[in-house]
Structure formats: structure tokens, C-alpha cells
Amino acid sequence: MEQIIIHVDMDAFFASVETRDNPALRGKPLIIGSLPGERGVVATCSYEARRYGIRSAMNIKEAYRRCPQGIYMRPNIDKYKAVSGQLHEIWDTYASAAEAIALDEAYLDVTEQAGNLEGARRIAMTIKRRIREEIGLTCSVGVAYSKTAAKTASEEKKPDGYFEIPTPQDFIALMIDRDVRSLYTVGEMTAEKLYASGIRTVRDVQEKRDTVVRLLGKQGQWLARLAFGIDERKVTPYRPQDAKSIGREVTFQEDVDDYALLQDVLVLLALCVERRAKRYGLYGNGVTLKITYFDMKGITRSRLTSACDCAAMIWQEAVRLLDSVEKRPVRLIGVAIYNLSGEEGRQLTLEDCFTDVRQRRDEELKRLLDALQDRYHLDFAGHLDQIYQMDTLHRTVEYMRKHI
């Protein structure tokens, strides 16, 4: 076995954390996400809720239609991040490289530590035991020769499961007669294209490889290799600077046609982007504005900038972009910085050279925040840090919308 990879996936992570902290929720259909009557979707749900057909990304209104007796909660992202940090401390102990792909999910390269399949099995069981005993949660673990096979293995025996796929031949034997949707990266739209050409199973992908490549191009080449158990990707530790962008967005509970309000909301979004960028020591060399209109038509507008991570500059560029878009009722607005670089790769700007430039931007941000406090009767004194929490941000934005 050239490489040995473990894939760890927490079981219904958000819901499990809430159930751990409140045992009265145990055994009940718990749905984490937006609340009934609001716009939004399901973030995750307990296994009891899944029996009603509820799943992640489902519209919250549809979830409520299926399970009106469920318990609905907004996510507490800060709490989940704290638990995720504990999980990563355990995972990192056993891997030469760990690739986190979500708060609750990671690939671990244990080739050197394990030595062989039996060693990997011991590591996997140790990870499961420590998570259960030290954090009070359960996870499902897959051990395999590749990332795709390890992820497939972790999904085989959920919840609290363990499964092994030692070789490509074992992967093929397991997957050969399954629906194409079981292959990594095949979503609903890709599956429909394949179905229309008579390709419904992994076996069909193998037998009609040329058709798959013709239909899907590079993705088709990837799927054809996967159908034969081939995936040579390495476990690559995540670095913040590898991200394409840093952003934050909000969805309004009612469409907004007051563009002055949208400018005010951009102040708070820019603050959130600034904080995350500075946490990682990153700068953006461009600003992007994202808008979804009332009819679900989405647009993005971007501007190249000098290196920036300050809220005032992000806000100024976002407002310029907002001024350029069609003025129609807005359902969602977001802002991001892109073309990210760290301190070592950043070109000097006027702000670096002149203290008065930095001071003016600090003063501009204070002016913007003071205006928000006056206009909406907000009180940021001593509470501004809370605005970075998703729930607080959404509640503040809704308050502003109702008090225009």
C-alpha cells in the first residue's frame, strides 16, 4: 500500500454538539439552520430528523413541512469552531499531514505512522475512542489507499462507523453496481447528463468511458479514473493563503430596495472580512461584491485594488461596485477580498509609508460606525466584537432593515 489515508467525518456535527450540551434534545428531530418562517436552509440535522427526509441545504420551509414537530435552532458557529479545534488537536497527533476540508471532517496521511493496514486500524480506533471519551461525540472513520476511497469508506457505516477499502480492486468491487451519484464530485446536474446517455452505474462509466469524457471533458476523465479506483491525490494541509477569497454575506428576511441600507450593511460585512484577513495575516488585491436579487438572479462585480485588509477600504470599493449594479430588490448581499497574499508577498502601499493614511482610514471607519449607531440607534460600545458572530450579524442586519 503506497499511501494509507484515514478520513474522519463527525456524525451530524452541529446537532451532536447541541445534543451533547443539552441531553434533553437526545432522540428528537433536531434541525440546525434558519428558523421556520425565515429565509434560509438546513445546515445539518440529527439522524432522527433525517428519517423525515430532511437533509443539509434543504429549504427550511420544506424541512418544516416535513417535520413541524422538530426542534429548530440557529447554529452557534463559535461553539462549533471551538470543538473543531479540539478535534484537530487529536487528529494532528496521528498524521504526518492533515487536510481539513470542514470543521468536522479531515483527511489524515498516516502512511509513516501506521506502517500497514493493521497499524492504521489501531490509529483509527484510537481516534474514535479519544473523540468519544475526551469530547463526548462520535465519528465515522474510513481507512483506504486513496482520498476518494477513504471518504467512501467513512460513509459506509454511519453513524459511529468504521470501514476499510485497502486496494483499488476492493473499491471497484464495492462500487461497481452503484449509482453514478456515489462517485466523488457527481452532483445532480452531472448525474442527469450521464443518465440521459444511459450511464447510470459505475460499471456504465467503465464500459462507456469515451462517452463520459465526451460529455464532461476533464471531469469525465476524472470520473473514468475513479470508476477504476484511481485517485493519486496527496493529503495537503490547508493554508489560509491558499483560499481564493475571504468574504461574508447575509440573506435578508425580506427583499431590500433601499440601497442606502445596503451601503450600511456593507460596513458590517467589511468589518467581518477585515477581522478574518488580519487573523491570518492576509491581504486582498481585489474586492468582490456579490448580490442575489429577489428573483434569485445572482451577479458579482469585482475591482482590482492595492493590497488591503482594512474595513474602510473594503467598504469604499464595495460601495463603488454597488453603485454600478442594476437597482432592483435584493435578497442577499456579500463582499469579499481576493487575490490573497501574505505579508511576505505584499507590495508596499501609501498606508504602509504614511501614518496619516492609516489614521485617516481608522477615522473613516469610526465615522461609519458612528453613523450606523445614530441612524439605527445601535450601541457598539463594548459589543462590536460580537458582530463577527454570524447569528449576531444577522440579527443586527434585520434590526437595521426594520428600522430604516
**42-53 per-position pLDDT tens digit:** 999 999 999 999
**Cα separation, 251 vs 292, whole angstroms:** 9
Measured CA to CA, the distance from residue 284 to residue 276 in angstroms comes to: 11
pLDDT of residue 344: 41
Cα 52 → chain centroid: 24
The predicted structure's pLDDT at residue 350: 44
What is the structure's pLDDT at 339? 87
What type of residue is 274?
E
65: exposed, middle or buried (C-beta count within 10 Å: 0-12, 13-18, 19+)?
A: exposed
Stretches in the chain below the pLDDT threshold 50: 344-350, 352-355
Has domain 172-227 been given CATH number 1.10.150.20?
Answer: yes
Q: What's the pLDDT tens digit per position in 315-359? A: 999 999 999 999 999 999 999 999 888 754 444 444 544 446 667
CA 314 to CA 336: how far, in whole Å? 8
Q: Looking at 18, 48, 99, 105, which residue is catalytic?
A: 105
Does the annotation count 105 as an active-site position? yes
For the chain, how are helix, strand and coil distributed in percent, rounded to 5? 50, 20, 30
For the chain, residues classed under CATH 1.10.150.20 are: 172-227
Grid cell 467503465 — which residue? 206
Q: Read off the amino acid at residue 48.
A: E
Distance CA 400, CA 267 (A): 12
**Cα torsion angle, 366, 367, 370, 371, sign:** negative
Residue 356, pLDDT score = 62
Calpha distance 173→165 (Å, rounded): 10
For residues 300, 306, 308 and 311, what is the CA-based torsion angle, rounded to 10 degrees?
-60
Report DSSP letters for 76-143, one per residue.
-HHHHHHHHHHHHHHHHHT-SEEEEEETTEEEEE-HHHH-SHHHHHHHHHHHHHHIIIIIS--EEEEE
- At residue 241, the pLDDT reads 64
Domain(s) of CATH 3.30.1490.100: residues in the chain: 241-402
Is domain 241-402 in CATH 3.40.50.300, yes or no? Answer: no
Q: What angle do CA 116, 119, 121 make, to 5 degrees?
A: 110
Residue ranges in 160-291 assigned as alpha helix (H):
168-175, 188-196, 202-207, 209-216, 218-227, 259-280
Q: What is the pLDDT of residue 258?
A: 96
**Sequence ranges of the chain with CATH classification 3.40.1170.60:** 9-144
Q: Classify domain 9-144 at the CATH class level.
A: alpha beta
How many Cβ atoms from other residues are within 10 Å of residue 73's Cβ?
Answer: 17
